[in-house]
Structure 1
Amino acid sequence: MREFKNFVVVKFGGSNFKIADDYSKVIRKIREMLEFEKSKALVVVLSAAYGVTDKLIWAVNNFQSIDVHSFLNELYDLHASFLSSNDNGGYSQTNEELQYLKSKVFELEKIFDALKLLGKVPDFAKDLIVSYGERLNAYVVYRLLLREGLDFELRNPKEWIITDGKFGNASVLLEQTRALFEKGLSEWNANHSIVPGFYGSSKNGDLTLLGRGGTDYTATVLAYALNAEYVVLFKDVDGLLSGDPKIVKNPMLLDKLSYDEIEELSYFGAKVVHPNTVEPIKNSSIPLYICNFLEDFNLSKCTVISSEKHRSERCVKSVSFTDDVAIVQFFGANLGRVPGVLGEIAKSMAQAGLNIKFVITSQTAINLIVSKKDLPEVMRVSERLRLIEIEEVSYRTDKALVAVVGYGLLDTHGIAAKVFGALAEGKINVDMISAGACEVSMYFLVDAQNVKDAVRLVHKSLFEEKNN
C-alpha cells in the first residue's frame, strides 16, 4: 500500500442517507473527493442513516414493551436494502455481507433481553445501543466502496478516540487521543478510512456518545489527531446562512466565518454544527468547510470557517435563536454586591456537573440561564444552598434567546439601534440583554411565543432593508 502525504477529513450526515439511491450519490461524492485529492489519505466519517438514531432511542425508551425480534428485523431489512445500492444497478448483496450485517444487528437482541431482566436501562447500555446506527451505516458504505474497487479500511473510533467518560454527551480528551494516533499514524497513512462517528471510549473502555450531532465533532477530532489539511462537512444546505430559511426571507449565504463566530452560533441555537465541533481544530488553525452535498465539489462555493477575523460590511453575520433556555432567579436585598454569592452558586452548579449558559446580575437578583433539561437538577442544587443572602429562588421557562453574531457588531454605530428598534416597532419586549462578554456576539431574551417574530424582524432590519 502506498503512503500518503497528508489527510483530508470529510463527513456525511444522516440527511445524506435517506433512501438506497442516496448511497450511490455518496459513493460518487467520495470518488470525486479521491480524484480531487489524489495525494492525500481520505478519512470519511459517517452518521447513522436518516432516522435510525431516533428509532434506536425510541427502542431504548420502550425496551419493556417492544417486540425486540421484530424491531431488529426491521433494522436489518433497512440496512440490507441499502446494500443493494450501486452505480450499475441491480441487487448486489453477497451472502457474506448479509450474514455479517445480520450478526451485527442481532448483537442487540442479547442486550435488550438483559435490560428486560434488569428492568432499567443503565447509561452505558443506552450509549452502546444507540451507537449501532453509525456502526451499521459505516459497514454498509464500506462494503459498497469495496464493491466499487476503492481501497478503504473500516476503523472503530472506540479504539482511537478517548473521552471523559460522560455517557450521552462526552467530551474528547484531545491530547490523549492525539497520542494514540501518533503511535498508529502509519496504519492510518497506509490507505483511506471509513469511520463511524458519534462515539468514542472512556479510559475504562466504556463506549460513550458525543451528543446529538456528534459526528461533526468526530470529524474535527480526527482532523486534529491526524493534523489534516482541512475538514469538509457535507450538508443538505449550501452552507451557513444569515438566518433560518424556515423563518426569515432570503437569508444570505455566508462565505466565511471565524471559529469564534461559529462557536457562538452553534452554542446558542444554530444547528448546522455540533457545539464542540470547532474546539479540536481551532488551536491548529485547520479550516472547516460546510458544503452542499448535491453540488459539485468546489471549496470556493462552500462556507469556510477559519481563524480569520473577517469583518463583513454589515458586521452581523447571522441571527440565531434557541428556546432551550430556563431562567433560574435568586433574589435578595443587596444580593448583587455581596462578595462570593455568585461564586458559591456557580461552584455548586459545577460540582453537580451543570452548565450555566450565561449570567445576568442586578442589585437584588442573580439570573442563571441554563438548559431546560438541566432545570430540575439546577433547582434541586439551588434549594440546597445555605446562603443567608438568598431570600427566594424561582424559575421561568417561558423565554427564548436570540443571538446576533458577527465581528464588529459591538463597536459599530447603529447596530444595537437597528436590532432593538426593529423589536420595538414589532412591539416585542426584551427581558434581558447580554453584550460585551464576547467581541462577536450579543444575546437577548424575549417571550418564547414571540421568538420567531423577533428573529424575523431583526434579520429584516439587518439584512433585507435598503441602505444596510
Structure 2
Amino acid sequence: MKILKFGGTSVANAQNIKLVLEIVTNKAKQDQLVVVVSAFSKVTDLLQLASIKAASNDESYKEIVAEIEKKHLDAIKELIPVSEQSGLLSHIKRIINHLETLLDGCFLLNELSTRTSDTILSFGELLSSYIIAEALKQNLKNSSYKDSRELIKTNTNFGKAAVNFEVSNQLITDFFASNDTQVVVMPGFIASSLDGINTTLGRGGSDYTAAIIAGALNATDLEIWTDVNGMFTANPKIVKQAQPIATISYQEAMELSHFGAKVLYPPTIQPVLRKNIPILIKNTFEPEAEGTYISNKVTSSTNPVKGISHIDHITLITLEGPGMIGVAGSSKRLFEVLSHESINVIFITQASSEHSICIGILNSDADTAENAINKAFEIEISQNKIDPCIVEKNLCIIALVGENMKNHQGLSGRMFSTLGKNNVNIRAIAQGASERNISAVINERDVKKALNTLHETFFEENTKQLNLFVMGVGNVGEKFIEQINQQKKFLKENLKIILRVVAVSNSRKMYFDEDGIPLKDWQSLLENGETANKETFISKVKSLNLRNSIFVDITANQGVSETYEQYLKQNVAVVTCNKIACSSAYGNYKKLKSLSRQYNAPFLFETNVGAGLPIIDTLKHLIASGDKVNKIQAVLSGSLNFIFNNFDENNSFHDVVKEAGVQGFTEPDPKIDLSGVDVARKILILIRESGYKMEIEDIANRSFLPAACLATTNNEEFFKSLITHAPHFENLLKEAKAKNCRLKYVATFENGKASVGLEFIPKESPFYNLEGKDNIVQFYTDRYIDQPLLIKGAGAGAAVTASGIFADVIRVGNI
C-alpha cells in the first residue's frame, strides 16, 4: 500500500485538483492507495482570520465565510457533473452552516478558545477532502472517503495535539483490514481526542497525518506531493541556482526541514523513520520529475553538504555574568523558565568559561522570554552577579546540513570564510557532536546574500556571480558593457565567473534590475529609467545587499568619487577609472585604502594610470616583493601624446585637440588634459602607490598653455582661445624641430620631488619614438638600477580603458 499526500497548492482550485485526480487514477492501477489532502490553498488562513474577526466583534467575518463557500462551490461546479452535484452541494452547505454557527458564537461571546479554534480550522480539510473524494468517484468507482478524526486519536493539547499511537495504530489497522476499496481519501491535519473532541496536529499537520497512516499500515512508501521538484539545496525563491536533491537520509531531511525547508513538516519523519518507510517528495505539476527520495541510507557523494537552509525571525538572548561561572544549575533554571512559558528554543551555544549562555528563539517569543528570564534571575541581577539578559531581534539562523560533513576537514572554515568575504557578520555559532549541522546566526537583512554565497561555494563548482552597479555609460561605459556581453560565455566556462549588470546610470537616468539587466536592451531600458540621483543610487545598492557587489565608476565626476567611502563600508567593491579620489587629499586616499581592508571590499583603480596598461598592478607587485621605487619617468597622457604626435605644419593645434576629443582620448573637458592636471594626478597616484606621501600641490606643473587659455570657463571659450593663441603653439613646434626633438609631456619623480611639463625629447630617449596615444613608464628601483623597468602601450581610448576596467572587475572575482 502507498500513502499519497497532496498539499494546499496541489488542491488550490479545480484545475489543480484535476491533475491530482489524474495522478491518483494512474497510480491506483498498480497499488492500493490512501490519499491524504490538505485544505484548499489559503483556506486555513481565511478560517483563522474569520475566527479572529468574529471574536473581535468584526462582522466582516461573514464576508470571509462567503469567500470560503464560493471557493468550494466553484470547485464542485467544475469537477462534478451537474446531475451529480445536488447531494454534494447540500452536504457542503451543511458544513458551511455549521462553520457559520461556530463563528456566530465567537462573535456573540467575544471569545475564541483554543478548542473552538481547532474545530473552526478543521473545516478546511473537511471541505476539501469530501469534494476530492466525490470527484475521484467520477473516474474511479472503487474509491471511498474516511474521516481522519475517527482513526487518529490525540490528547487535548489544542493547536498541536500529541498523537496516542497505541490507540490510533489499532484503529487504523482495523479499518483498513476490512476496507476493500482501491483508494481511500482522508483529510489531513485533523484528529480527535479519545472523547471525540476535534483537535489538530499543528500547521503542516497533513504531512503528519499521512506519515501516521503510513507507519500504522507499514506502507511501501510515503509520497508527499507539492509544488516543487523535491527538497532543494537551498530555498529556490532566494537562491535561483538551487538544485533538487535526488537522495537524502532521514536525519538530513529532518535537519533541513527543521531549518525552514518548507516542503516537509519536521514531525512527519518520525512515524516512518521507525519503520524505515521511504518518503518521496514529488511535484504535482511535473509528475515526471524525479523528486527527492528520503530513506535511512546515507549516500556517498563528492559533496559532503546536502543542503543549506535557514530560519527567519529569530531573536538571540544572551544571559551572562560572573555569577554564572562554576555555579551549578544556571542552565537548568534558564531552560525551565522558557519551558514554563512554552517557548521553543531553536538554537543554543555556551562559552566554555560558563560566563554566558546564548539561545535563539522566535521574535514573537522575545518579549515574554526577556521578562521571564529577568524575573527568574532578579536576585542575581540586583547583586550585579548576572546582567539583565541581552536581546537582539531580527536575526536569522543559517545552517549547512550533511551526513558526511563529519568526514571532511575544513567545512566550517570555508563556510565562515565565504561569509566573511561578503561582510556577513556572524553573531553566534553552533555545531553538534554529530557534525551533521553547522549553524550560524546572522542579521536577517544578510540572509539572501549569505545563502547565495554559500550555495556558490558548496554547490556551483566555485562559480562566482559578480553584481555590477555601473555609473557612467558614455564612450568608455558603452564599450565596457559591450565587452561584458561579448565575454559572458567565456568567463562562465573558463573562469567560473558570472557577470551581471544590476544597475546602469548616466547623468540623467538610472535603471535597476535585481535579476540582471538584459544587455542587448540596456540603452532603451536606461532611457526609460528613473531620474538619476547619487544618493538614491547608493540607497538602492545598500537595500539590494547583493553578494559580490561591485560599484563601477566610469565618470570623471568629483561628486561620484566622494561616494566611494559609503560603498566600501557596505562591503561593495569599487572599481574606478576616475582619478579624483586617489589624487585627492592624502588622508582621503589612505582612508579609502584602509576601508577597503577593513570591510574586505576591493578598491581597484588600474585605469587611473595608463588606461588598460598593467602599470599600477606591476607597481604593487614590486612593492609587495620588497623593492623600492627611487625614480619614475613617464609619458602618462595618451591624449597629449596623440595631440603632439599629430600636431604639425598641416594640422593646427586646435584641430588636433578637437580630433582627440572626437576619438575619446581626452576628458569631456579637454583643459583637464592640456593643463597638465590629469598628468599630475597620475604621477601622484604612482608616487603614493610607491609608498611616498605627497599632495597634488607638491607637484610642479609647468603648463605650456597661455594664461588666457587656462582662464577660460567652458569648452567653447577654450577652443576659441586655442585659435587665438595658435602662434604660441606653432612656435613650440618650430623650436622642437630646430632642436631635432619631439614634444612630449613628461612626468618625473626623483628625490622626493615631482614635476610635470612639456619637454623637448631628443632622439636617443626611449620617449622619442612614442607614437599615437601610447604611454610609457620607467621605474628605477633598488633592483632596476641601470636599466629601468619599462611599461609601454596604448594609454588612452574607450576600448583599452574599458578593458582595463574589465580586468579590475575580473580581479575582484578572483580575490
Normalising to structure 1: TM-score of the pair? 0.91
* Partner of residue 144 from structure 2, selected from 128, 149, 153: 153
Hey, what does 2:330 align to over in structure 1?
A: 341
Hey, what does 1:361 align to over in structure 2?
A: 350
- Assess if the C-alpha contact under 8 Å between 1:85 and 1:91 holds in 2: no
Report matched runs for 1:37-76 at 5 Å: 37=31, 41-63=32-54, 64-76=57-69
Hey, what does 1:32 align to over in structure 2?
A: 26
Between the aligned partners of 1:318 and 1:445, the Cα distance in structure 2 is 17
Hey, what does 1:395 align to over in structure 2?
A: 391
SS at match of 1:404: strand
- Assess if the C-alpha contact under 8 Å between 1:162 and 1:202 holds in 2: yes
Does 2:228 correspond to 1:234? no
- Assess if the C-alpha contact under 8 Å between 1:48 and 1:133 holds in 2: yes
Report the Cα offset of residue 175 of structure 1. Answer: 3.1
Hey, what does 2:71 align to over in structure 1?
A: 78
SS at match of 1:323: strand
Report the Cα offset of residue 405 of structure 1. Answer: 0.3
- Assess if the C-alpha contact under 8 Å between 1:152 and 1:193 holds in 2: yes
* Partner of residue 295 from structure 2, selected from 303, 306, 325: 306
Cα distance change on mapping 1:166 and 1:311 into 2, 3 Å: farther
Hey, what does 2:183 align to over in structure 1?
A: 192
Report the Cα offset of residue 21 of structure 1. Answer: 1.8
- Assess if the C-alpha contact under 8 Å between 2:248 and 2:299 holds in 1: yes
1:47-98 deviation per Cα after TM superposition (whole angstroms, max 9, x unaligned):
0111211111111121121345543333222211111234xx9645521111
Cα distance change on mapping 1:307 and 1:98 into 2, 3 Å: same
Report the Cα offset of residue 355 of structure 1. Answer: 1.9
SS at match of 2:196: coil
Larger-gyration structure (1/2): 2
Does 2:15 correspond to 1:11? no
- Assess if the C-alpha contact under 8 Å between 1:332 and 1:392 holds in 2: no
Hey, what does 2:697 align to over in structure 1?
A: none
* Partner of residue 159 from structure 2, selected from 137, 157, 168: 168
* Partner of residue 372 from structure 1, selected from 359, 363, 368: 363
Between the aligned partners of 1:244 and 1:285, the Cα distance in structure 2 is 27
Between the aligned partners of 2:326 and 2:180, the Cα distance in structure 1 is 58
Does 2:411 correspond to 1:429? no
Between the aligned partners of 2:454 and 2:13, the Cα distance in structure 1 is 38
Letter of the structure 1 residue corresponding to residue 131 of structure 2: V
* Partner of residue 134 from structure 1, selected from 125, 131, 134: 125
- Assess if the C-alpha contact under 8 Å between 2:76 and 2:85 holds in 1: no
Q: Which range moved further: 328-337 or 280-289?
A: 328-337
Q: Which range moved further: 62-71 or 219-228?
A: 62-71
Report the Cα offset of residue 411 of structure 1. Answer: 3.3
Report the Cα offset of residue 414 of structure 1. Answer: 2.8
Cα distance change on mapping 1:337 and 1:453 into 2, 3 Å: farther
Between the aligned partners of 1:292 and 1:34, the Cα distance in structure 2 is 18
- Assess if the C-alpha contact under 8 Å between 2:244 and 2:291 holds in 1: no
1:104-162 deviation per Cα after TM superposition (whole angstroms, max 9, x unaligned):
11111111111112111111111111111111000110111122243222111112112
SS at match of 1:432: strand
Hey, what does 1:4 align to over in structure 2?
A: none
SS at match of 2:267: coil
- Assess if the C-alpha contact under 8 Å between 2:148 and 2:187 holds in 1: yes
Cα distance change on mapping 1:151 and 1:126 into 2, 3 Å: same
SS at match of 1:408: helix
- Assess if the C-alpha contact under 8 Å between 2:25 and 2:139 holds in 1: no
Hey, what does 1:454 align to over in structure 2?
A: 450
Hey, what does 2:484 align to over in structure 1?
A: none
Letter of the structure 1 residue corresponding to residue 331 of structure 2: L
SS at match of 1:248: coil
SS at match of 2:407: coil
Between the aligned partners of 2:164 and 2:365, the Cα distance in structure 1 is 24
Hey, what does 2:313 align to over in structure 1?
A: 324
Hey, what does 1:22 align to over in structure 2?
A: 16
* Partner of residue 98 from structure 1, selected from 89, 100, 104: 89
- Assess if the C-alpha contact under 8 Å between 2:28 and 2:182 holds in 1: no
Between the aligned partners of 2:34 and 2:7, the Cα distance in structure 1 is 14
Report matched runs for 1:217-232 at 5 Å: 217-232=208-223
Hey, what does 1:3 align to over in structure 2?
A: none
Cα distance change on mapping 1:242 and 1:232 into 2, 3 Å: same
* Partner of residue 295 from structure 1, selected from 286, 292, 295: 286
- Assess if the C-alpha contact under 8 Å between 1:168 and 1:209 holds in 2: yes
Looking at secondary structure, tell me which structure has more helix per residue. Answer: 2
SS at match of 1:137: helix
Hey, what does 2:108 align to over in structure 1?
A: 117
Report the Cα offset of residue 191 of structure 1. Answer: 4.7
Q: Which has the higher contact order (CA 8 A, sep 6+)?
A: 1
1:312-338 deviation per Cα after TM superposition (whole angstroms, max 9, x unaligned):
211001111111321222121152532
- Assess if the C-alpha contact under 8 Å between 2:363 and 2:394 holds in 1: no
- Assess if the C-alpha contact under 8 Å between 2:419 and 2:425 holds in 1: yes
Between the aligned partners of 2:204 and 2:441, the Cα distance in structure 1 is 25
SS at match of 2:338: helix
Number of residues of Structure 1 aligned to a counterpart in Structure 2: 455
Report the Cα offset of residue 173 of structure 1. Answer: 2.9
1:278-324 deviation per Cα after TM superposition (whole angstroms, max 9, x unaligned):
111111100000011123457xx221111112232110011111113
Cα distance change on mapping 1:466 and 1:353 into 2, 3 Å: closer
Cα distance change on mapping 1:93 and 1:378 into 2, 3 Å: farther
- Assess if the C-alpha contact under 8 Å between 1:239 and 1:303 holds in 2: yes
- Assess if the C-alpha contact under 8 Å between 1:336 and 1:361 holds in 2: no
Between the aligned partners of 2:209 and 2:136, the Cα distance in structure 1 is 21
Letter of the structure 2 residue corresponding to residue 36 of structure 1: Q
Hey, what does 2:460 align to over in structure 1?
A: 464
Cα distance change on mapping 1:312 and 1:445 into 2, 3 Å: same
Between the aligned partners of 1:204 and 1:337, the Cα distance in structure 2 is 50
* Partner of residue 339 from structure 2, selected from 328, 333, 350: 350
Q: Which range moved further: 155-164 or 104-113?
A: 155-164
Letter of the structure 2 residue corresponding to residue 239 of structure 1: G
- Assess if the C-alpha contact under 8 Å between 1:221 and 1:280 holds in 2: yes
Between the aligned partners of 2:194 and 2:372, the Cα distance in structure 1 is 29
- The percentage of aligned residue pairs carrying the same residue is 28
Letter of the structure 1 residue corresponding to residue 229 of structure 2: D
Cα distance change on mapping 1:276 and 1:240 into 2, 3 Å: same
Report the Cα offset of residue 420 of structure 1. Answer: 1.2
- Assess if the C-alpha contact under 8 Å between 1:174 and 1:280 holds in 2: no
Between the aligned partners of 2:436 and 2:163, the Cα distance in structure 1 is 26
Hey, what does 1:108 align to over in structure 2?
A: 99
